[in-house]
Chain A
């Protein structure tokens, strides 16, 4: 059964820092890996989707990489801002559905 782990569980940084969130998964037979953002009391917003044949995807200040063979992905956030404060969730899509990690709670202080 697929298991997804996110490290760290929580992260607090000052504004302007570059930061990396980590995601690992146990079964490399995936179709894609997705990163989501969740604000308190809200649903999930899709940030990036990396297909299994791709190595990375970029959107603005966000860059996500995928190393399928080692079962790892990283989400890089450049020049962090207070508005980036949220929980970031990683999910892998296998044969039928998404399996989610428990998330990294990010706090960016002004």
Chain B
């Protein structure tokens, strides 16, 4: 079974801090994704990566950056946290085949981040 593990279930940080959210998958998937989920707005894609050291912006990349130094790990970075970044953050991965693998994405359990 595919396992996508997010390092924290709950996280509380202060405005202006640099925040790191970590995600690790154990299935050698090429593709990894970061989403945020907010009531009334649904899931929105922040960044994704098709390979090590590759990254592409999603729909809402402003205020975020990512790092993919190893295939199994995809990190989301909030450069200077703000209260409007309080949200549920979800990481996902999917098998290779660049884009059209017709395989479902596998999700972690999420990190509920609060910025005070």
Contacts and interface: CB of A to CB of B under 8 A. Distances in A.
A95 B109 CA distance: 26
A32 B105 contact: no
A103 B42 contact: yes
Nearest to B88: A41
Dominant secondary structure at the A interface? strand
Contacts, number: 50
B45 interface: yes
A97 B45 contact: yes
Contacts of A45: 107
Nearest to B6: A43
B58 A43 contact: no
B100 interface: yes
Interface residues of A, number: 23
Contact of B90 (A44, A95, A101): A44
Interface of A: 31-32, 34, 36, 41-46, 49, 51, 89, 91, 93, 95-98, 100-103
Interface of B: 4, 33, 40-43, 45, 48, 56, 58, 90, 92, 99-100, 102-110, 112
